[in-house]
Structure 1
Amino acid sequence: MAKKSFDNFLEEIKSKFGDDVIPEPAIKSISTGSPSLDICTEIGGIPMGRITTIYGAPGAGKTTLALSIAREAVQSGNNVLYVDAENKLDIEYAEYIVGAKHNQKDEKFIIVQPNTAEDALNVLGLGIESKKFSLVILDSVGALAPKKEKDEVDFEKRDVALIPSLFTKFVRIYFHQINANNVAVVIVNQVRAKIGSYVGGYSTPGGYALEHASSLNIMLSKAEDLKEGDAIVGNLVKYVIKKNSNGKSFRTNTYPLIYGKGIDKLKDIVNFAKELGVITLSGPLYKFEDEKLGLGLQATLEYLSNSSETLDKIKKMCYNTVNKLNLFELEE
């Protein structure tokens, strides 16, 4: 049989397998709500059409970061599906951080609390298939309970690798659709101590399939407390980009998390810009290039809150400095 030749190979592929097998030239993103973290990812946040994993110890701020990403998505006109596998999400807090009521007719912010791991992954899959949501979030892998465990209720029996096998299947089924439908998938995960290990450390539930499938892995940990007088009002959250398929891995910094309010975006970018030398200090005076911003941090924050043009220039300069690229031209 003679081999078939093609005048246009790409058109032949599209006609047989569909347009969605051809990747888009540029990856779109959703902001994390932390300007410094957005800059460190190199694409302005978490990638769309990809899986992002956020993990860390208890109290590290994983859920708040996930909700912060949800807020950015909603504010950009996108719909969000939040699968609360832990069944302990503070709904009022979630609505406050996201800035939208849940489960309304407009379906901007949907919260689901499934019973089993299978239900959670099925709901997540339906959200991906629906093309209705630009962001789907699972919180968290460590809380997933397979149906077999719940049905048998045998605490002496150890079922091995049930969750990893579910995620292996989930990745195989939905990996292409996540990309084709351009859905950002955020998987929140916990950590487990490595019992018996000579070097200690931790592992994450979900198995290697989830680690391989994730384009962006962000590890969070609690850093120093933030105080107003003697009162602790928040803490710095340290992030480490453990894996980044769209940029450099192992970039690390902190962002300020204020209890009950979420990430302080303005303070985050000012601290980050100061660390990079984009904002300079002359005594207590904060300066950006030849522009005086304020005497002290608080005055600087107030000035920038009313000067969006200067703030935008600072963000662009930070991006160019971190990534050593002139992707943004600063206007005169």
Structure 2
Amino acid sequence: MASTTSTPEATRAAPAEPAPKSRGSRRRGPYPYWFLIIPGVIYVVFFVVPTLTSFYFSFTRWDLFTSRWIGLDNYRTFFQEQALVIGLRNTLIYAVLTSGLKVVLGMALAIALTSRIIARGYLRSVIFFPVLVSAIGVGLTFTVLMNPEKGLINNALGHVGVDGPGWLTNPSLALISVALVDVWKGVGLATVIYIAGLVSIAGEYNEAAQVDGASRWQLFRTITLPLVRPATASVITLSLIGGLRSFDLIYAMTKGGPGFASDVIASVIYKQYQAGFYGLSTAGSVVLFLLVTLIVVPLTRWLNRAED
């Protein structure tokens, strides 16, 4: 007689299969989309609308109450100004000089401040402190320090038998002097970015290279430098944007002088606005916007591509 007793495996109920998800269903994020409404409105009101308005008014001759369409006349006049040619050249020199020094000094200081040295935390605070100080305050302070007759810097040089130059009165030195002050003020941010990049490098890479007999220079060139490339890209981008748009420090220290020696595009725009040429200064603002975009956007894409 055949046994009618079923095995436990046969009598065990089969687990229910989960219902398949419909193709049209999408997993929602942790926040509702309406959270984007307020930031979107703020972005449109405070960035998109002023930008489009600036483009429009750059083609007009306007004051606070009226405007008249004049086409490209503002741009023609702006590019015929000798001050613009000098300002454009000075802007590029200033941006490249400050960016390069911040990259080199920021990397060197970050390496020093991540090594085993005394008072490392205190020194990090000292390096970063100038970033927190107002650019106008820094400019006025260094204007006094760089005074060719009564300044502390030239007085200190005089005690060792060196005649200090006119840091801000010599046309050949004015722009470079302001750039060095800019580097002193901004190198702390570059250092912090590089410190974050250095501490994220796993120690196993250096240990393995040291076992293979790599020197310090080889460690830096083959491990440290490639792995802090994202930090380098950030420092270059931020420094270059700041250098191209720099105005407050230059105007506080030299007001673009002597003559046009330290004028940059931003200071030329400000002087045109002071003179009452509002349409001309608006066209200059558009030129500055386009200059920053045409330089920074391709450079950022190239840096990110090299990083990948």
Q: TM-score with structure 1 length normalisation? A: 0.22
Which structure ranks higher in relative contact order (CA pairs < 8 Å, sequence separation ≥ 6)?
A: 2
Larger Rg: 2
Higher strand share goes to which structure? 1
Q: TM-score with structure 2 length normalisation? A: 0.23
